[in-house]
Amino acid sequence: MTSADYAAYIAGLPRVLVGAAVLLRDAEGRVLLVEPNYREGWALPGGTVESDAGETPRQGAHRETLEEIGLDLPVGRLLAVDWVPGTGRPPIVAYLYDGGVLREEQFKAIRLQEEELLSWRLVPRDELGELLNGALGRRVAEALDVVARDAGAVELESGYRVG
């Protein structure tokens, strides 16, 4: 195979987006959600991994957390990987990492990325389904179960456990 053939082969491969986020909680177990200004619903701090620049999902989760809420936090263990088929966009592989339990002074230090976010709030588990749409809501619930059981990461498809 020539280098031109290889380049054509690579260009013809399906495109997959990669996202990464962190699950941050307070001492009461409430989850930190952010409100994007570019779409409906709430989200976790995170976003698209810049894989063209060589960024890994873990690095993307760290960068996005720093950019979106202004906190330079270590990214903890992997909680979930979720394959979400595309509808009008390529499929997404979403990585969700444990951001841990934040202290009160860390919440006071949050500085939102005003270009993308309107607000943030702490949400009890039983209210997450009202604010997080579809696969994201299921992904967060599965990740909270992983944390509660101190279990290994889960593999998901559209937020539903597989395997």
> What CATH number is associated with residue 34?
3.90.79.10
Nearest to 136 by CA among 39, 21, 29: 21
Q: What is the pLDDT of residues 103-134, one digit of tens each?
A: 999 999 999 999 999 999 999 999 999 999 89
Q: Domain for residue 61, yes or no? A: yes
Q: What percent of the chain has pLDDT over 90?
A: 83
pLDDT band at residue 17 using 50, 70 and 90 as cut-offs: very high
3-state secondary structure of 110: coil
Q: Domain for residue 8, yes or no? A: no
Q: How many other C-beta atoms can be found within 10 angstroms of the C-beta atom of residue 80?
A: 26
Q: Domain for residue 82, yes or no? A: yes
Whole-number Å distance between alpha carbons of 81 and 26 = 23
Nearest to 21 by CA among 110, 140, 121, 128: 140
Total count of domains within the chain: 1
Q: What is the mean pLDDT of the chain?
A: 94
What number is the average pLDDT over the span 24-43? 96
Q: Is the pLDDT of residue 13 over 90?
A: no
Q: Domain for residue 141, yes or no? A: yes
Domain that holds residue 72: 16-161
Cβ proximity of 160 and 141 under 8 Å: no
pTM for the predicted model, two decimal places: 0.92
What number is the average pLDDT over the span 72-84? 97
Q: Is the pLDDT of residue 1 over 80?
A: no
